[in-house]
Amino acid sequence: MFRKISLALFVLPAFFQFAIAQKLKKADKVILINLETHIRFLADDKLEGRRAGTAGEKLAGDYISVEFQKAGLQPRGQNSWFQPFVIDDGKQITSATHFSINNVELKSDKEYFPLAFSAIKNVEGSPAMALQESGVPWFIDLKEMLDTNQNNPHFDLDNSMHERVKDCVLKGATAVIFYNTSKLDDNISFNAKDKSETATVPVLYVTKEARKKYLKDESASLEVKINVDITDKKRTANNVIGYIDNGAANCIVIGAHYDHLGYGEDGNGLYRGPEKMIFNGADDNASGTAALMEIAKLLKQSKFKNNNYLFIAFSGEELGLFGSKYFVEHPTIDLGKVNYMINMDMVGRLNDSTHVLTVGGYGTSPSWSTIFQTTNEKKYFTIKFDSSGTGPSDHTSFYRKDIPVLFFFTGIHSDYHKPTDDYNKINYTGELYVIKYIFTLIDELNDKGKLAFAKTRETQTASSTRFSVTLGIMPDYTFSGSGVRVDGVSDGRPAQKAGLKTGDVIVQLGDYPVSSLENYMQALSKFKKGDNTKVKYKRGNDVSEAAVQF
């Protein structure tokens, strides 16, 4: 659909780049052509946005593996070029789920659905709606709960429903069937990402229309049959890994993520229109992936033999660094021998007037400051240094394993995480210069041996713009247990002051149980600056509580 727009816009940048290209060497012109070929392929609608664990991601992964092979690399995944890993896709209701009233089957989704924290169970009984007797399913109207808490800013419907179910079970309910006769909307849906404590009985929700149809007479005795079946949904994504073995002691890791947002199914896109659109991710991060493939070719042909090289195209980055995290936990080379890691994420939109290039990880080795003073190519760029080894991309996973990192990024733009991040907006010449710059750095470091590592500050979490308060933690997005696992703690922020450390799992904030990132954020939204509360967290098997001031 937006290909039409793409073609119209293509004319200007193409002419412009052609003018510059005239002055480039032949080898550079070849790289320019390759970059455009790679990015046009990876950012094509056919790949449907390369969402991790989809057919589009597979096409992209195959393409990268073929390019790695052409470059003369060796496969270094677990399954040839590929390193598969599983992404937890939440829960799903299976077709074995049934609900009938007086032998009339209710329509799943339209008339009822189980809540994600429902027990997986089969229950039958003959209750009357008005009577709440032991040994039968109970019907609970949400009206009172909603109406009385209408102006209560601390009210949490999810939490209240959990408590209500527990209370009903104590009094003998064998299932809980919620409905809502209030004028207030409850916005209840099946929340696939729910990781809260599972109830001991089936918990269903009956929609407004279905309530009017089947549950009119509150005194009538009903024949109720319930079967709830919910399973875990999973999908498999792949890192693509190639290797150059120079027989050296140390290895340089060069990485770029190749996954993107698909159609925005995971809720990480910034386009929220009614039309289904593909997020092509040309800059984010077909650009880095293209650079990765070209640098692999250059290094294979180079005379820099003092290190081995590992090239990783990561998947699952957009979900929270899943692929790089999986790699550092399941490395296919000895991580202790990694000299340093270079990450490229969004290197295709160099501004032609400012030439600003952001280089992160500057503080992760004392060697970086020396090397950046001598490297010539920097003259082309205005370099903005960021000392932190952490940030919103895959180098973070390597930094956390005490590996010096550098992160290259040409800057944020208005197409970021939108369907308009297309190949025609890439500054191919700018990207060529980024590649040449990285190549020069590797050259300068070739005979410098293994770099020393240094710890840096943590970068702020991105959520600070959406909430009036934050704890100052970096959550572990790949954590699949109940709670929010801390991946990093920012200096001087409430979490650090409360004594939280990396690896702790937050399970409660104030009165709000925390089982997932989603309800952690909901809980955060209930606090203001200056508020005092308590945070409950697990460290190993111990549960502790600490005072927090926002």
Comparing CB distances to Zn ion, the nearer of 127 and 264 is 264
In the complex, minimum distance from the CB of residue 263 to Zn ion, in angstroms, rounded to a whole number: 15
CB-count exposure of residue 331 (10 Å: 0-12, 13-18, 19+): middle
Comparing CB distances to Zn ion, the nearer of 48 and 111 is 48
Comparing CB distances to Zn ion, the nearer of 190 and 258 is 258
Comparing CB distances to Zn ion, the nearer of 380 and 416 is 416
Which three-class secondary structure state does DSSP give residue 9? helix
Comparing CB distances to Zn ion, the nearer of 284 and 431 is 284
In the complex, minimum distance from the CB of residue 321 to Zn ion, in angstroms, rounded to a whole number: 11
Backbone phi, psi, residue 238, to 5° = -135, 130
Tokens for 378? Answer: 């920097």
Nearest to 225 by CA among 235, 236, 233, 214: 214
Q: How are beta strands 512-513 and 505-509 bridged, if at all? A: antiparallel
In the complex, minimum distance from the CB of residue 416 to Zn ion, in angstroms, rounded to a whole number: 7
Distance CA 517, CA 504 (A): 14
Distance CA 49, CA 68 (A): 21
In the complex, minimum distance from the CB of residue 276 to Zn ion, in angstroms, rounded to a whole number: 19
In the complex, minimum distance from the CB of residue 268 to Zn ion, in angstroms, rounded to a whole number: 7
Comparing CB distances to Zn ion, the nearer of 260 and 493 is 260
Distances (CA, A) of 350 to 14, 283, 286, 429, 495: 15, 10, 14, 9, 37
Comparing CB distances to Zn ion, the nearer of 139 and 409 is 409
How wide is the angle at C-alpha 241 spanned by C-alphas 433 and 426, nearest 5°?
A: 30
Comparing CB distances to Zn ion, the nearer of 111 and 284 is 284
In the complex, minimum distance from the CB of residue 391 to Zn ion, in angstroms, rounded to a whole number: 12
Distance CA 486, CA 517 (A): 11
Q: How are beta strands 542-549 and 532-539 bridged, if at all? A: antiparallel
In the complex, minimum distance from the CB of residue 285 to Zn ion, in angstroms, rounded to a whole number: 7
Comparing CB distances to Zn ion, the nearer of 67 and 284 is 284
Nearest to 257 by CA among 106, 91, 408, 374: 408
Comparing CB distances to Zn ion, the nearer of 127 and 288 is 288
List the x/- string, 190-229, binding to Zn ion by CB under 5 A: ----------------------------------------
In the complex, minimum distance from the CB of residue 260 to Zn ion, in angstroms, rounded to a whole number: 7
Q: Is the dihedral of CA 21, 27, 31, 34 positive or negative?
A: positive
Distance CA 507, CA 516 (A): 9
Tokens 């160099």 sit on residue: 350
In the complex, minimum distance from the CB of residue 134 to Zn ion, in angstroms, rounded to a whole number: 53
Comparing CB distances to Zn ion, the nearer of 38 and 195 is 38
In the complex, minimum distance from the CB of residue 344 to Zn ion, in angstroms, rounded to a whole number: 13
Q: Return the residues of window 120-149 that contact Zn ion according to CB under 5 A.
A: none
Nearest to 506 by CA among 491, 490, 492, 524: 524
Comparing CB distances to Zn ion, the nearer of 284 and 458 is 284
Question: Would you call the peptide bond into 285 cis, given omega within 30 degrees of 0 as the criterion?
Answer: yes
Size of the site for Zn ion (CB under 5 A): 1
One-letter amino acid at 74 equals: Q
Exposure pattern of 196-217 as b/e (b: 16+ CB <10 Å)? beebebbbbbbbeebbeebbee
Distance CA 140, CA 179 (A): 6
In the complex, minimum distance from the CB of residue 383 to Zn ion, in angstroms, rounded to a whole number: 22
In the complex, minimum distance from the CB of residue 317 to Zn ion, in angstroms, rounded to a whole number: 7
Which three-class secondary structure state does DSSP give residue 301? helix
Residue nearest to Zn ion (CB): 284
Q: Return the residues of window 267-296 that contact Zn ion according to CB under 5 A.
A: 284
Comparing CB distances to Zn ion, the nearer of 92 and 268 is 268
List the x/- string, 226-265, binding to Zn ion by CB under 5 A: ----------------------------------------
Comparing CB distances to Zn ion, the nearer of 138 and 409 is 409
Q: How many helices (H) and strands (E) does the chain have?
A: 13, 23
In the complex, minimum distance from the CB of residue 345 to Zn ion, in angstroms, rounded to a whole number: 7
> For residues 174 and 134, is the Cβ–Cβ distance under 8 A?
no
Nearest to 438 by CA among 407, 399, 403, 413: 407
3-state secondary structure 64-110: HHHHHHHCCCEECCCECCEEEEEEEEEEEECCCCEEEECCEECCECC
Backbone phi, psi, residue 533, to 5° = -155, -170
Tokens for 323? Answer: 């692929």
Distances (CA, A) of 154 to 186, 480, 524: 15, 27, 11
Summarize as ranges the residues that interact with Zn ion (CB under 5 A): 284
